[in-house]
Every structure is written in structure tokens, then in C-alpha cells.
Amino acid sequence: MKQTGTVVLDIGKTNAKLTLIDAAGRTLAEVRTPNTVRRVGPYPHCDTERLWTWMMGQLAELASQADIRAIVPVTHGATAALVGDDDLVLPVPDYEHEFDDPADVARYDALRPGFDTSGSPRLPAGLNLGRQLDWLQAHFPAEFARTRHVLMYPQYWAWRLCGVAASEVTSLGCHTDLWQPAEGRWSSLVEAHGWQHLFPPRRDAWARLGRIKPELAQRTGLSADCEIVCGIHDSNASLLRHLLTLQQSGPCTVLSTGTWLIAAALGSATRPLVEAQDMLANCDVFGAPVPCMRFMGGREFGAIAGTQPAPFERADVERLIAQGTLALPCFAETGGPFAGQVGRFVGPLAKTAAERAALATLYVVLMTDHCLDALGASGRVVVEGAFTANAEFGPLLAGLAGVDGGRDVTVSDDSSGTTCGAWLLDAWGRQAEGAAASVPAWNPPGWHGYRDAWRAQAGAR
């Protein structure tokens, strides 16, 4: 007899994956593929059809292993699909495309809401989703006029699977310029454009939208009773199990790590948000604003360490600190507290692949430390996602005192808090198995002085 399972569809900026999870939250199978951008056509766009074909084939494989009762989509933010009755009316823009024609920039900047109401900083490229929608309407008016729904990216995949259109607050409130987190309503940008009718009714992230389309059930071998869950923005999925236990565990800051590192302060931020520092107010699954700060941690790590980082020893870290080798921000062109600065190296160069990986680790730790202090984050720090695989990230971060003195850093035993959070949407009301284990602080010789030198030369405010 087959086990019963849930499939999480997780589309990150770098990779997409399908994870089959049993009723106790244990992973039974996982498959992944690169998330590619197509550069043909009117503008760079998400390769939705390649992902769809891959997904259909993999769902058929997973359906042969388990009785899949639900599918939960979770995706990166700053992405939406314009759909007509049964298909896209325009390709889904890649948010890293530069929407930088001076006339477009001037028009949009005159309309976008103030940071004090939207909690959404002015970001480069298409990271403010409102900029993408404004640009599409200006450059493709006929297609935009045929749009029936604007679907946030998780809900686009849910719509393709079950045919039900919905909106959801974690994606609406993710630095889009479309939402007022504190007020729980549309921003002045949406009202000025008259876009309200394009967004379908809001549903809870855990809501069952409907059963899978019969033709898809037949194509994949999935049960006709397989339900499609509304879905969630990925870094908010990482918050979910901590959000559900906040009253018992006290304030904490969750580090959702991957292509982006997002520090989300749950009940712990003590300083005002500063737009120029890439601070923002995201919305949690219940619609409440969450103070956040972020940078492209995974991408910057790769830029320093290389695409295939080498293993390194503590001796490599200690040698870099002793000789004063610094990597100074920033090594990505998109967002972060040092946006606009060009990454550079100071001191003797890292000579080996191991030293470059160690230097990349020092860099992301110091960037994270800067974000935590800038937010005024107190209490525990929980590491979720890709950086849980870096054995020295947590100990080095714990070795740097935070705003309230010592820093208690715990590292999740789940390398994908996103997947765990998405599973919780299907298992609403349950608690996820697993834990976050405290890590011992590591203070290599000269570590605090190295941080001071890095902050002084990075221009940390």
C-alpha cells in the first residue's frame, strides 16, 4: 500500500524543486532543476513552460511512489503572471531585468507610494513588482487590457494546477509597492492605476483552492482528489514554524538563506526601518508586518568562492583574519544595504579555493551581523535554508556580540525551512518535527577587530 504524501513545489530564483513529504513531515523524495531565464522574446522572462513540462513528468514519477493528497506551491517574490481566461497574456518578467528607460523611471517614481506607508524600499531592476506592472501596461497596452487576473507567482502555479484564481498576502506584501502592510489594504499605486479588479479575492496561504484539473490527474497519475493549496512567498514559509511558536519561544530573528539572505525580526526589532539600507516590512502569513533586512547572500558567496565552493578548515579562516584579508561589499548588483558599491578585496589575496570559500564565509557572516545590528534584533537567531550546510557560519555569527550582548544562534536541522513551512500549510494545526540546535560560539583570534576593520572600510552605518 502506498504512503500518503504532500508535494511541495518550491521555485527559488536559482533552482526549482519538488519534495514529497509524508504525513509526519519526513522527506520521501526530492527532485530539482535549474530555474532558467529565457532571453528571447519581448524581454527576459521566467521559463514557465520548461518548468511546467518538468513538473508534469516529475509529478508522474512521484505519484508512482505515494498517494499524493495535496500540492503546495511556494516561490520567490517580486514576480507575477498576467493571465487571460486560460493562458498567459504576456511572459512572466524576470525581476532582474532593468526597467530603466528614463521616461519609465520618471513616470513610476511619481506614482509609487512612500516608504512610510508601503514599507517597500525603492529597489533596482524589477524588484518592486509595481514597477513591472506599470512598465508592462505602458509598453504592451493591448495585452495588458486582455488581462483577467494578476496572479502572484505561487498562485499562478496553483491556478495552472486547479483553475482557481486567488491572491495571498505574503506575496502581495513582499516589497511590491502594491500593499500597505500596517493597514492591510491596497497602496495608492494600485488605486491610481485602477488595478484592484485585476487581483482575485485574497485567500489564506493554507486555503484549499480546489482539486487538480481532471486532465492533469489523468496525465500524471495523481488522484483526482489531490487538492491544491493556495501557497506562500518562500521566505515567509521559512518563518512559519517559528511564527507559530513565537509566544512560547520568545522573540527571535529568522535568517532565511539561499540566493537571498533575509533577516526577519519576529518581535525583536528595536530600530526604525531605513529605506536606503534595504530594510522593509514584509507581511507574515496572517498579514502582520515583519521588519526585515536582506542581501543576496548566496549569490555573493558564489561570487567570492566560485560556483563549486571548496571545503575549508578553521585554519584557513584564522589565516585570513590574521593577515587582514577583507572582502568588502558588494558582489551582487541587486539590492542589499550597500547597493551601488562595487565589491573589492583588501589585504593579501585569498590564494587557494579553500581560502576563497573561507573568505566568502567571513563576508556573509559580517553582512548578516551588520543586518542584525541595523535592525536592532534581539533574542535568538535561527538559521534556515542553504547556509545550514556551512559548518562555520553559525559559530562565527554566534561569536560576535549582538545589540543585547551575547548572541544565541541556532541552526535548523532542516536544510530547507521553505519546504517545512510549505508542508505546514497542508498540515495546518500540526507542529513540524525537527529542531534548531544551538551552536557553540567560535571566536578566532582577532575576530572582533576584524569585524571593526570590515565595518570601517565597508562604510557600515
HSE, side-chain direction, 13 A CA sphere, residue 215: 2
Given this chain, do its domains 3-230 and 235-458 carry the same CATH topology? yes
What rounded mean pLDDT belongs to the chain?
Answer: 93
How far, in Å, CA of 388 to CA of 392, rounded? 9
**Neighbouring residues of 106: CB distance < 8 A, sequence distance ≥ 6:** none
Q: Which CATH architecture has domain 3-230?
A: 2-Layer Sandwich (3.30)
Interval 439-447 mean pLDDT = 95
How far, in Å, CA of 415 to CA of 368, rounded? 18
How far, in Å, CA of 179 to CA of 282, rounded? 10
Q: Which residue has the higher pLDDT, 30 or 430?
A: 30
**Neighbouring residues of 284: CB distance < 8 A, sequence distance ≥ 6:** 170, 236, 239, 243, 290
Q: Which three cell numbers stand for residue 115?
A: 516608504
State the pTM of this model: 0.88
Nearest to 80 by CA among 33, 22, 130: 130
Which pLDDT tens digit goes with each residue over 77-87?
A: 999 999 999 99
Reported confidence tier of residue 416, pLDDT bands at 50, 70, 90: low
How far, in Å, CA of 5 to CA of 62, rounded? 10
User: What is the fold, at CATH topology level, of the domain defined by 235-458?
Assistant: Nucleotidyltransferase; domain 5 (3.30.420)
Which pLDDT tens digit goes with each residue over 49-107?
A: 999 999 999 999 999 999 999 999 999 999 999 999 999 999 999 999 999 899 999 99
The domains of the chain are located at 3-230, 235-458
Interval 347-364 mean pLDDT = 97
Residue position matching grid coordinates 576593520: 453
